[in-house]
Amino acid sequence: MTAQILDGKALSAKLRHETAADVAEFTQKTGVTPHLAAVLVGEDPASAVYVRNKQRACEQAGLKSTLHRLSPETSQQELLDLVARLIDDNSVHGILVQLPLPKQIDERLVLDAVHPLKDVDAFHPENVGLLVQGRPRFLPCTPWGVQQLLASGNIETAGAHAVVLGRSEIVGKPMANMLVQRGKGGDATVTICHSKTRDLTEITRTADILIAAIGLPEFVTAEMVKPGAVVIDVGINRVNDKLVGDVAYEPVKEIASAITPVPGGVGPMTIAMLLKNTLTAARLQVSR
């Protein structure tokens, strides 16, 4: 068996084209151009590339994008002051504070400071709570992208056993919450595994859908995957001059029924869903 490749690059291009059409229609009706403000603190190379890709995607979809670059020595108060200004700016509809932040800054405090209506990453406690209750305002970009990839491959989640490796606030927890919700893309039976999980391989081998989001290069081996399982690799790790995921791609693709590549899998989908959230934020704010 050789796995079906779930191509995030192709799907994201399709979704971004659809978003561009929606943005054009929205702007024509309202005279408002959806505007995403991104904040980059420090000089992390991966973050800089990611933000640049987001900016390019915004421009291609007809959204306005503004990047605020701050030095690595920026204080927590200086960052909070910038966030407050962006909240007060009615021309800004979405605020994205790129993680990670320098060690002198409390990430949670900063993310909590972003107004829930402009929180296009869906990290604010109010938006997390709405998601858990099954009535989301915004869907977290990476888990939403995973759901879209599963749907594109006609992979049934209802009744499936989904195992999520990782319990981060960005991917692991929201992914599990979305898969367990009633309706399309949900209704799965979900297990979350983490660094304290016992008998990890025994659990992962029961997964119909295995989602790896732990940030450890090629951690998931073929022995950890049930033959015929769907494997979603959220990880992206640099090993020497090569980008690899959290899954040992070559051996695992020979036993999985479907798999995402790295790069070109989940990564492009995250940006596509961010554009949709920014348009939703603009719609919500214009209608108030």
Per residue, the 3-state secondary structure of 161-205, as one string, reads: EEEEECCCCCCHHHHHHHHHCCCCCCCCEEEEECCCCCCHHHHHC
Active-site residue set: 54, 98, 121
CA distance 182 to 41: 38
**CATH assignment, 141-267:** 3.40.50.720
- Model pLDDT for residues 49-104, shown as the tens digit of each residue: 788 889 999 999 999 999 999 999 999 999 999 999 999 999 999 999 998 899 99
**Mean pLDDT for the stretch of residues 246-250:** 97
pLDDT grade for 156, boundaries at 50, 70 and 90: very high
- Which residue matches tokens 């997964």? 207
**Mean pLDDT for the stretch of residues 211-225:** 97
CATH topology for 31-117 is: Rossmann fold (3.40.50)
pTM for this one?
0.95
Q: What residue spans define the domains of the chain?
A: 31-117, 141-267
Name the more confident of 47 and 173. 173
Give residue 249's pLDDT: 97
**Mean pLDDT for the stretch of residues 108-133:** 97
pLDDT grade for 189, boundaries at 50, 70 and 90: very high
Give the residues across from 68 on adjacent strands.
39
Answer yes or no: is pLDDT of 238 > 90: no
Q: Which of 91, 73, 74 is nearest to 82 (CA)?
A: 74
Answer yes or no: is pLDDT of 21 > 90: yes
Angle of CA points 210, 216, 219, to nearest 5°: 55
pLDDT grade for 264, boundaries at 50, 70 and 90: very high
